[in-house]
Structure 1
Amino acid sequence: MDTLSSKNSPEGGYRLTQTVKARPLVSIITVVRNGRKTLEKTITSVIQQTSNDLEHIVLDGGSKDGTIELLHDYNSSIAYWRSEEDIGIYNAMNKGIELAWGDWLFFLNADDLLHDKHVIADIAPHLRGAAGCVFGTVVYDTGEVHISHVSSSIKMYNTVHHQSAFYSARLLRQMGLRYDEKYAICADYELNLRLWLNSTRFVPLERVVSFCADDGTSRKNPMRAFHEMQLIQKNALGLVTSLLSFARNVSVYFLISRQKAKIRAVQQLLRNKK
């Protein structure tokens, strides 16, 4: 329970009262707004890690649902948290980058979980090299598996899932990279594309990193995501590539939508027969 600061304080965490003797290997950054119902499970999945070579940073966007009270309850487990208004999820993530002390950055949403208690311990040996991004696999709460990969396909769509990727903090700072806040949904894709275009070394791992909710902003707003991807590709790769990518992604979206509609129809028929 909270013993470190007043319940009225807009910030907390053990950094405010303890001397941190060494930089952690990994900074796990969570951004949240009115996520009281799911945030505790996210925090717990970090606390349960068998590796201690990490810190947890939480940026709250001025929640009114009890999130701040929950954060106070975990003051002794979270390195640092702050509650203040932001101008979007990527604005909050950029704040997290500035606050992080770790050599590597990992972004874990407030309704997502680390897959198991050994994730950081298993990933750590692969973070000792010269890679710029180390990534694994994500499992959605629907059971769908997203296996990230890096190839020239990244010019067409985001091939590296955000909740699977560990980024070198040193590299991002050396390159002056931040999330481009003019994008509301696809700034993580824009960052991955810039890294790839700069010949960053991406290292894939056969390891499930996290469980993710299937209601992320990009999945709920596919057409807006397509529009942002087209703008990103136009700026980075030119108009022709962006138009080809848009046509491909819209075709895939409607194909998947039709398949899902067929599945729902079959499921309804089966229910009607019962």
Structure 2
Amino acid sequence: MSLQAPIISIITVTYNAAKVLESTIQSIIKQTFTHYEYIIIDGGSTDGTVDIIRKYANHISYWVSEPDKGLYDAMNKGMQAARGEYIWFMNAGDEIYDQHTLAHLFASAQQDADIYYGDALFFTQAGEVTGLRSEVTPHKLPNTLTWKSLQHGMVVCHQSFIARKTIAPLYDLSHPYCADVDWEIKCLKQAKEVVHTGLILSRYLTGGFSKKNLYKSLLDRFAVLKSHYGILTTIQSHVWITLRGALFVLKRKGGY
């Protein structure tokens, strides 16, 4: 990599993910836009993950494999190591949408935003594409995204959310399941310009950390939203989220 500071720091957090890490790495190193750095933070894997990292070491700006305090602690380590103007998390199993994604992003006329966001394409570990997040979940991607947009849940996928480093805080480790929701809200509170790219930015591997801890994630999400929007608004939002989800399921079952 050039000694000049990169435009964007792409960070992958991983732990015992040898089965899915290589596709993530390849989606990054194949980018036609090359003014980036790539950081991998591994939690001390024992399944061959480190061997894969070493295989691609020439393409990686910085990597470490050591025990950590969990997902968000590892993400904080990545942010602290980053030198780029922007931060983008692309964790093990997830992929940048295609090889031209970064080139399209930074070819935009709006090149100095604080936050860029877009859609995510969902796929399973078997490689089956299930559809765009904005279509296969109740979360509709807003044309205008503000911190208040997230009172109705995480309306933008974390892997399709790119933030300027100077406005991005470290993840709050007191929220072990939904620190990413809290982080996005805090970034949006600080942002002066937020750009909807109109692009599919990522391919998201379903069935991840929060999905496996659904009940605890819901409780943690409630705590995060309450801290930003207050108890009354959060209760009202969760009633709305529940009704929205039920209506979405009914519509899908009905085929309309």
Q: What TM-score bracket applies, with the shorter chain setting the length?
A: 0.7 to 0.9
TM-aligned CA deviation for residue 58 of structure 1: 0.3
What corresponds to 1:14 in structure 2? Answer: none
| Alignment counterpart, residue 143 of structure 1, candidates 113, 130, 151 | 130
Deviations 1:26-64 (A, max 9, x none): 110000000001101111111111111011100001111
Judge which range, 222-231 or 76-85, deviates more: 222-231
> Alignment partner of 1:93: what SS?
helix
Return 5+ residue gaps in structure 2 as ranges. Answer: 124-128, 135-140
Q: Which amino acid aligns with 2:133?
A: H
Matches of 1:111 and 1:163 in 2, distance apart? Answer: 11
181-190 or 243-252, which deviates more: 243-252
Give, as a single letter, the amino acid of the residue that structure 2 aligns with 1:100. A
1:242, CA displacement in angstroms?
1.4
1:8-38 Cα shifts (integer Å, max 9, x gaps): xxxxxxxxxxx84211111100000000011
Alignment of 1:17-96 (within 5 A): 20-96=2-78
Query: Displacement of 1:253 after TM fit?
Result: 4.2
Question: 1:107-256 residue pairs with structure 2 within 5 A?
Answer: 107-126=89-108, 129-141=111-123, 142-147=129-134, 148-149=141-142, 150-151=145-146, 152-172=148-168, 177-198=169-190, 200-255=192-247
Cα shift at 1:250: 3.2
3-state SS of 1:24 partner: coil
| Structure 1 gaps, min length 5 | 1-18, 267-274
Contact persistence 1:126–1:134 (CA under 8 A) = no
In the aligned structure 1, how far is the partner of 2:117 from the partner of 2:237? 24
What is the CA–CA distance in structure 1 between the aligned matches of 2:192 and 2:225, rounded to whole Å?
18
Partner SS state of residue 107, structure 2: helix
| Kept after mapping to 1: 8 A contact 2:163/2:187 | no
**1-structure distance, mates of 2:76, 2:33:** 25
RMSD over aligned CA atoms reads 2.3
Runs of 4+ in 1 over 6 A off after TM superposition: none
Q: Give the 3-state SS of the residue equivalent to 2:10 in structure 1.
A: strand
Larger radius of gyration: 1
Q: Is the 2:167–2:190 contact (alpha carbons within 8 Å) kept by the matching residues of 1?
A: no
Deviations 1:123-154 (A, max 9, x none): 12349744221111110014221243315432
Counterpart residue identity of residue 28, structure 1 = I
Q: CA deviation at 1:106?
A: 0.5
User: CA 1:191/1:204 → structure 2, altered by over 3 Å: closer, same or farther?
Assistant: same
Q: Are the counterparts in 1 of residues 18 and 52 from structure 2 also a CA contact under 8 Å?
A: yes
Give 1:214 shift: 1.4
3-state SS of 1:76 partner: helix
Q: Measure the CA separation in 2 of the matches of 1:194 and 1:52.
A: 29
Q: Structure 2 CA distance, aligned partners of 1:216 and 1:245?
A: 24
* Cα distance in 2 between the residues matched to 1:47 and 1:146: 25
Kindly tell me the number of residue pairs found equivalent between the two proteins.
241
Identity within the alignment, %: 30
Matching residue's letter, 2:217: A
More divergent stretch after superposition (195-204 vs 233-242): 195-204
Aligned twin of 2:138:
none
User: Structure 1 length as normaliser, TM-score?
Assistant: 0.80
Q: Normalising to structure 2: TM-score of the pair? A: 0.85
